[in-house]
Structure 1
Amino acid sequence: MQKFKIVVWLAIYIIMLFPVALMAQRNDGAVISGDFADPSIIQVGSKYYAVGTSSEWAPHFPIYQSTDLKNWRHTGYVFNKTPQWTSGSFWAPEYYKIKDTYYIYYTARRKADNMSYIGVATSKYPDKDFTDHGVIIAFGKEAIDAFVFKDHGQLYITFKAYGLDNRPIEILSSKLSADGLKLEGETFSLLKDEPRIGMEGQSILKRNRYYYLFYSAGNCCGAQCGYNVRVARSTKFEGPYEVYEANPILSENYKWKCIGHGTFVKSPNGADLYLHHAYNRESNTLTGRQGLISELKWPANNGWPVFKVQKLIGPPVSDINDSFNSNQIAQYWQWDFRNVTPNIKQQNGALYLSGTAKQSNQVGIVLTTRPVSGNFVMTTTVINHNNALKGLSFYGDANMAAGIGTKNGKVVVWQVKDNKFAVLSEAPVNGSLPVHVQLKLSPDRTCEFLYRTGTTSWKKLKINEVFNASFLTQWDRSPRAGLHFKGNENEHALFADFSIKNID
């Protein structure tokens, strides 16, 4: 009888917990969904601005705006035109403001030697019209992840130095000129990576008598990542810094993994909030490193700080439904600037896509947006007919992508893998009617390809093997979904609409 009572009470306890667990899972969400790594945040009056890594996509460094830190709106980019000195890898931008001027300190590869160094750009506005001033830090074999800190009236810039011959990774610092555009004095070390666990993405706060140096350790990116946030402190900005014995102070949980690289901002009630990135365990690398906000709590008596994970939860992810009714393309569109030069026009309820691609590019031109879910349905309507391939693509890079489109009176499912273009399936279509094509991504990473003409029912194009999109993910960025064109310079694609519906 006693055993029976124990079993009954255990069952009731599990039943009571189960709905709570489901509710918690439904409420978990990023404040900035989709691939938005290495974010930096700044407050301007009653508004907040956040900027993040764009890797190989142009325009470079997306900027978001919010009034409540929960609901964010994409308002622009730092660079609509690629800075002349750069060749790619646009990582880890850092916001700062000096007087009435906004600064972005950013990492990119230098065209001359392919080394990653730190540049700086300025604007009178937080989210537009930035002017590039070129490289400000070219140190050793790599200098990345800038962070600016002001101490007793003196500006300092800190950065990660990597690959310095046989020396460990270091967080270095230098005095910064009053105008924020050049280094002054000797560079000095704040913290060395003596355990060789990795060290980057630093951010510094002053609290009472201590300077707290927060940094990320471990492998930042990809399916095998192990990122986490650690802290060290010192009574002097220059150090020496004592590393906290109980590190890490922010790491993975049941919903998010590889948490790290962020900066702090004060909430309206004075709390220290940390905007950082993490991979969602469900969609993982298919949606990239998304923007989360966690709260930093300060114990009494100068104790070490602790994080309240995911303090702020953003709204449900948004669908895209675009009928191209304006004369300006949407902010969400980006493209692989290393491999294509797109020609994009939007007018009279249609989007025109053409352009040129590098000779080695087997995919063609893809006008992309960042997926915010690992389970979606993407659809477009192609309204012109020619020899070019026109439709949809799920794009990893110029040598790996897949899609469905129409060409020469046929609808075609295609893929590029290992830089080889292949037709997986095709079917004839009525060349005088608009062709609707659809790509479905499922949580298991498999894709289905469908089409219809006019108002007929959707038809699924069969391929010999189940298509799995896992191979599309790049180390430092998620694959992108969007409109596709592959043809000659004198041809083009014309689209009447574009939509992505995210499935719960």
Structure 2
Amino acid sequence: MSSIVGQYVNPVIPGFYPDPSICRVGTDYYLVTSSFQYFPGVPIFHSRDLVHWEQIGHCLNRESQLDLERCRSSMGIYAPTLRFHQGRFFMVTTNMNSRRNFYVWSETPDGPWSDPIWLDWSGIDPSLFFDDDGRVYLSGTNELGTNEPHGIYQAEINIETGQLLTERRLIWNGTGGQAPEGPHMYRVHGKYYLMIAEGGTEYGHMVTIARADSPYGPFESNPGNPILSHRSTNHPIQATGHADLVQLEDGSWWAVFLGIRPVSVPFVGRHHHLGRETFLAPVTWSAEGWPVIGDGGKVTEKLPVGAEASLIDKNEFEGNQLQLCWNFLRNPQAGEWSLEERPGWLTLHGSATTLNDIGSPAFVGRRQQHFNCSVSTLLSFNPVREGEEAGLTVYMNERFHYEIALTYNSDTGRKVILRRRIGSLWKVEFEAAVEDSDVILGLEADPSTYSFFYAEPNGERMPFGTAECSLLSTEVAGGFTGVYIGLYATGNGRHCTVPAYFDWFDYKSH
């Protein structure tokens, strides 16, 4: 194990950060993950030790790079690959909203990144490999929804223009697991190694590898495959797969990969709601020249189960830019949010779009990254028309979310509500009249339950109902994302006549 890594706890990037891809530039490490329907897209992180990661930007932060108009949940940006070559960073990915592949490049990892270079390339999970002889190869999956044989396809590419220089050809079918995808190629010890994900990105997920003397094969499958999988085990980390390798300056190798941390609930079973997260494991090489991830294909948390790095993040909404942890749902609409309209506050102008719609509501959210956490915000909002509301949401997708919000009813006036939306069912569980237009809204989370509360200024904190984490899990809600905790405003079918102001947002892990 390299001395720069030392003791660490998995996941190294907790919360919904799946499909990690990594590259090294000198003593610096850079990593990107999928972002699906959220904007900006493809968060990029920096580290000096593979353990402590700081987000430094997004690769896609302009609508010209990332069109998410009417993007369905869990579509959008899939499985990016990050590589560095001759002074440039390249990030290649798929926008499933348009079902097109493209790459962008930048001379600095925090941008600005170029506009997309579109590829005449079908399938998903594109990856780039820069060979020592100057050739550049593009690989990816078969074309989805067709009779094209499943497997990994490859062609040579002109990296300046994106033009394919050779025919696209099938190079490996994998080992027989479903959905061979996520290819990455490496040249090690004079051999070409092709590492992929198989088994689907669920509990049967795994990493397999093959090698050849040529980039086009024929590829010899590792007799020890899979080299990473927790399938058919009771391990607290599950669905391990979609890995990428990096070699350190000292010659050691490491892998980053996705995994989930399911919660077991009596009579419910296993579920995960934080999403697919980024994990780290050492890599050794067998005497036969094959990589081995972790302990014979298994990885641990390194610290006792449940141990998490603490986080205290109070956002005061100072300045004119949101912190990098914040996202919008799809492309934000001009004029619906501002940090300058009321300095020191986040202003949201609620539109007709709601959290139930496949659209762009007035929403600013961040990932839930810890099972045990508390979240609160101070909202100033004076709704005067039926249906106007603003508040705090625990959001998985448009069909599965919870809200604690301030709203208005012509009969009862201003009130706080707790609402749950579960599939086609929704219900306002609790409501309480409030006198003031300023109110603190919040929640306490543990692995199984969200407990909501509110407080009027200088008033007592009032418990306000609970909701199950399991009903926002992937096993129930579907999809590939994880829970966001967000601030929102809506007129529920028409524009709000008054803005919603959020003074601060406090996120603390326990």
* TM superposition score category, shorter chain reference: 0.7 to 0.9
SS of 2:294 mapped into structure 1: strand
The equivalences for 1:441-452 within 5 A come to: 441-444=445-448, 446-452=449-455
Query: Per-residue CA shift, 1:19-50, capped at 9, x if unaligned?
Result: xxxxxxx9632111111111111223332211
Q: Which of 203, 213, 218 is equivalent to 2:194? A: 213
Q: Is 1:227–1:251's contact at 8 Å kept on the other side of the alignment?
A: yes
Query: Per-residue CA shift, 1:60-88, capped at 9, x if unaligned?
Result: 11111112211111111111123468444
1:456 maps onto 2:456 in alignment: no
The equivalences for 1:343-354 within 5 A come to: 343-347=336-340, 348-354=343-349
SS of 1:394 mapped into structure 2: strand
The AA in structure 2 aligned to 1:170 is G
1:336 maps onto 2:329 in alignment: yes
CA distance in 1, matches of 2:137, 2:240: 26
Q: Is 1:329–1:345's contact at 8 Å kept on the other side of the alignment?
A: no
Distance 1:289 1:158, change over 3 A: same
1:176 maps onto 2:183 in alignment: no
CA distance in 2, matches of 1:355, 1:182: 44
The corresponding residue for 1:5 is none
| Runs of 5+ unmatched residues, structure 2 | 1-6, 265-270, 409-413
CA distance in 1, matches of 2:226, 2:128: 20
The AA in structure 1 aligned to 2:337 is I
CA distance in 1, matches of 2:367, 2:317: 18
The corresponding residue for 2:442 is 438
RMSD, aligned CA: 2.7
Task: State the structure with bigger RCO (CA 8 A, min sep 6), 1 or 2.
Answer: 2
Distance 1:164 1:55, change over 3 A: closer
SS of 2:459 mapped into structure 1: coil
Q: Is 1:277–1:289's contact at 8 Å kept on the other side of the alignment?
A: yes
Q: Is 2:381–2:498's contact at 8 Å kept on the other side of the alignment?
A: no
The corresponding residue for 1:367 is 364
CA distance in 2, matches of 1:264, 1:373: 26
Per the TM alignment, residue 419 of structure 1 is displaced from its structure 2 partner at its CA by 5.4
User: Structure 1 length as normaliser, TM-score?
Assistant: 0.84
Between the two proteins, the alignment pairs up a number of residues equal to 463
The AA in structure 2 aligned to 1:289 is R
The corresponding residue for 2:315 is 322
Q: Which of 465, 477, 480 is equivalent to 1:476? A: 480
Q: Is 1:375–1:443's contact at 8 Å kept on the other side of the alignment?
A: yes
Q: Which of 415, 421, 428 is equivalent to 1:416? A: 421
Query: Per-residue CA shift, 1:351-388, capped at 9, x if unaligned?
Result: 11225354794595331111111232211111232243
Per the TM alignment, residue 151 of structure 1 is displaced from its structure 2 partner at its CA by 4.5
SS of 2:136 mapped into structure 1: strand
Per the TM alignment, residue 57 of structure 1 is displaced from its structure 2 partner at its CA by 0.6
Bigger proportion of residues as helix:
1
Q: Which of 208, 214, 217 is equivalent to 1:236? A: 214
The corresponding residue for 1:495 is 502
Per the TM alignment, residue 317 of structure 1 is displaced from its structure 2 partner at its CA by 4.3
Distance 1:361 1:285, change over 3 A: same
Higher Cα radius of gyration: 1
Q: Is 1:410–1:428's contact at 8 Å kept on the other side of the alignment?
A: yes
Distance 1:262 1:143, change over 3 A: same
Distance 1:215 1:183, change over 3 A: same
Q: Is 1:362–1:420's contact at 8 Å kept on the other side of the alignment?
A: no
Q: Is 2:371–2:446's contact at 8 Å kept on the other side of the alignment?
A: yes
Q: Is 2:209–2:227's contact at 8 Å kept on the other side of the alignment?
A: yes
The corresponding residue for 1:133 is 116
The equivalences for 1:82-161 within 5 A come to: 82-83=63-64, 86-87=67-68, 88=71, 89-109=76-96, 111=98, 116-139=99-122, 142-161=123-142
Structure 1 window deviating more from structure 2 (87-96 vs 190-199): it is: 190-199
Per the TM alignment, residue 121 of structure 1 is displaced from its structure 2 partner at its CA by 1.2
SS of 2:336 mapped into structure 1: strand
SS of 2:126 mapped into structure 1: strand
The AA in structure 2 aligned to 1:429 is V
The corresponding residue for 2:377 is 380
CA distance in 2, matches of 1:453, 1:39: 42
SS of 1:102 mapped into structure 2: strand
Per the TM alignment, residue 148 of structure 1 is displaced from its structure 2 partner at its CA by 2.4
1:425 maps onto 2:430 in alignment: yes
Query: Per-residue CA shift, 1:111-134, capped at 9, x if unaligned?
Result: 3xxxx3311112222122112234
CA distance in 2, matches of 1:248, 1:64: 28
The corresponding residue for 2:4 is none
User: Structure 2 length as normaliser, TM-score?
Assistant: 0.83
Distance 1:266 1:311, change over 3 A: farther
Per the TM alignment, residue 312 of structure 1 is displaced from its structure 2 partner at its CA by 9.4
Distance 1:262 1:317, change over 3 A: farther
CA distance in 1, matches of 2:119, 2:444: 45
Distance 1:37 1:341, change over 3 A: farther
CA distance in 1, matches of 2:97, 2:487: 30
Distance 1:429 1:117, change over 3 A: same
Q: Is 1:366–1:482's contact at 8 Å kept on the other side of the alignment?
A: yes
The corresponding residue for 1:19 is none
Per the TM alignment, residue 471 of structure 1 is displaced from its structure 2 partner at its CA by 3.1
Query: Per-residue CA shift, 1:446-490, capped at 9, x if unaligned?
Result: 22221111222211124xxx6223333442101211212122244
Distance 1:267 1:199, change over 3 A: same
Structure 1 window deviating more from structure 2 (277-286 vs 373-382): it is: 277-286
Q: Which of 249, 274, 277 is equivalent to 1:290? A: 277
Q: Is 2:337–2:362's contact at 8 Å kept on the other side of the alignment?
A: no
The AA in structure 2 aligned to 1:104 is M
The corresponding residue for 2:411 is none
CA distance in 2, matches of 1:447, 1:192: 44
Q: Provide the identity percentage.
A: 24
The AA in structure 1 aligned to 2:323 is A
The AA in structure 1 aligned to 2:325 is Y
The corresponding residue for 1:41 is 22
Q: Is 1:33–1:317's contact at 8 Å kept on the other side of the alignment?
A: no
Query: Per-residue CA shift, 1:143-184, capped at 9, x if unaligned?
Result: 433232425321111111143633431111101115262211
1:68 maps onto 2:49 in alignment: yes
Distance 1:256 1:352, change over 3 A: same
Q: Is 1:345–1:353's contact at 8 Å kept on the other side of the alignment?
A: yes
Q: Is 1:162–1:170's contact at 8 Å kept on the other side of the alignment?
A: no
CA distance in 1, matches of 2:365, 2:335: 11
Query: Per-residue CA shift, 1:284-337, capped at 9, x if unaligned?
Result: 63111111122221123x332211255997971423211223332111111211
Distance 1:502 1:336, change over 3 A: same
